[in-house]
Amino acid sequence: MNQISGGVCAAQGYSAAGTHCGLKKEKPDLALIYSTVPAQAAATYTTNVVKAAPLHVTKRHLSDGGLQAVVVNSGNANACAPDGEENALAMCHYTAKALGIPTEQVAVSSTGVIGVSMTPKMGLVQMGITTLAGQLADTEQAADSAARAIMTTDLTKKEVAVALTLGGKPVRIGGMAKGSGMIHPNMGTMLGFLTTDAAISSPLLEKALQQAVTRTFNRISVDGDTSTNDFCLIMANGLAENPAITTENADYEVFLDTLTILCTHLARLIAADGEGATHLITCTVQHAPDEDIATAVAKSVISSALVKSAIFGQDANWGRILCAAGYSGADFDPETVTISFASEVGEIVVCKNGQGVDFDEDQAFQILAPFEVEIHIDMAQGTAASTCWGCDLTYEYVKINGEYRT
């Protein structure tokens, strides 16, 4: 497996485009991904009972497992707004018409402010979609343009692509994602779009996406808020002509592992770009009784406002970590737990058997200085492990979210 360039256009048969249609003042706000042939598709949706209109429409269009295009806007979430479903469906119509494909072959996704009707701007959106259809290209630049058009408060574009071999054939998987605030483990907790030329059956594509998302996007937290619009989509158009994956064979395992690596990469990019973040925090729990317990503990730690504030201050306040593990809902014995901090600077054990150990505070402060820091929790209570990702809580997060609409 090699990392390659090209994002969502890396795999055969996919083209993309991004533009500014007018939902935002100046920045790009509309993206399109298109497969020259119908693709198998699978998706995961937010667990929030308040679901944005585009998700309802997309779910219907995906019910037969096939898809040829996805249109995405930023600047308006089209959630809790009048005429939400009509406008989401209209976006599919415009896209289908511009591409000459059936409306049911188009997925739609939105991100931005909740509760503002898109109706006054649907004319602009329609013109934007026509523009995009004309600009479609299978280049690195086109993928970059699409990845930028789905950003909201994101500071960095989030793209990835890899090449692998399945059944002797070269296969590619690419992806783009967005997410910076309102990010919390549960479903996708962001927008993610993956494209591959692999040949794989619809049920197994669905299963692979679920498995990959569970261990990656569902394990990041920026602020504990689960959005109304979270959505992750994968399209597989089969143009690589590998022997189609129809059982959970060795090829499926390779595909799943690769997909998980890609999603991990995008998930880390989202956590690292958490609103106001000055640290990417990776929390790894080892030797847990089972994976659910390991995940509950790791999630609770990276979600704790007190832990996040401490990392911002480079404060090795392990008591808050053990405390967060304690209220995670997981049942465990705190008296066998060891906690250490690590980064490129080094590693330091701060708690053994549930109690503090003497450690060099200056050294710990230095270890917590780099952008990427790790919290290691060894439970000594089994063989399961889990990793979650988050970011620190900073003045800037409060500033961004106190002033978002104003």
Phi/psi at 389 (5° precision): -125, 140
Q: Does 336 bind its own copies (CB under 8 A)?
A: no
Q: What are the angstrom distances between the C-alpha of 223 and each of 181, 299, 368?
A: 7, 11, 20
Q: Does 349 bind its own copies (CB under 8 A)?
A: no
Stretch that binds its own copies, among 8-16, 193-201, 266-274, 348-356 (CB under 8 A): 348-356
Residues across the chain: 406
Query: Hey, what amino acid is at 178?
Result: K
The residue whose two tokens read 């793209």 is: 159
Q: Alpha-carbon distance 120 to 261, whole Å?
A: 41
Q: Alpha-carbon distance 37 to 169, whole Å?
A: 19
Stretch that binds its own copies, among 13-21, 37-45, 350-358, 371-379 (CB under 8 A): 350-358
Binding residues with its own copies: total (CB under 8 A): 65
Closer residue to its own copies, CB minimum distance, 84 or 238: 84
Residue 284 annotated as catalytic: no
Closer residue to its own copies, CB minimum distance, 159 or 223: 223
Of the residues 330, 375, 379, 391, which one makes contact with its own copies according to CB under 8 A = 330
Q: Does 223 bind its own copies (CB under 8 A)?
A: yes
Phi/psi at 144 (5° precision): -60, -45
> What does R_g of the chain's alpha carbons equal in angstroms?
22
Q: Alpha-carbon distance 381 to 288, whole Å?
A: 5
Helix 318-326 and helix 305-312, axial crossing angle in degrees, nearest 10: 160
**x-or-dash string of contact with its own copies, 39-58, rule CB under 8 A:** --------xxxxx-------
Q: Which of 95, 189, 260, 338 is catalytic?
A: 189
Closer residue to its own copies, CB minimum distance, 74 or 186: 186
Strand partners, 384: 288
Q: Does 232 bind its own copies (CB under 8 A)?
A: no
Q: Does 306 bind its own copies (CB under 8 A)?
A: yes
The structure tokens listed for 208 are 């692979």
Contacts with its own copies by CB under 8 A lie at 47-51, 77, 79-82, 113-117, 181-182, 184, 186, 223-228, 303-306, 309-310, 312-313, 315, 317-320, 322-327, 330-332, 334, 351, 354-356, 393-395, 397-406
Residues serving a catalytic function are 189
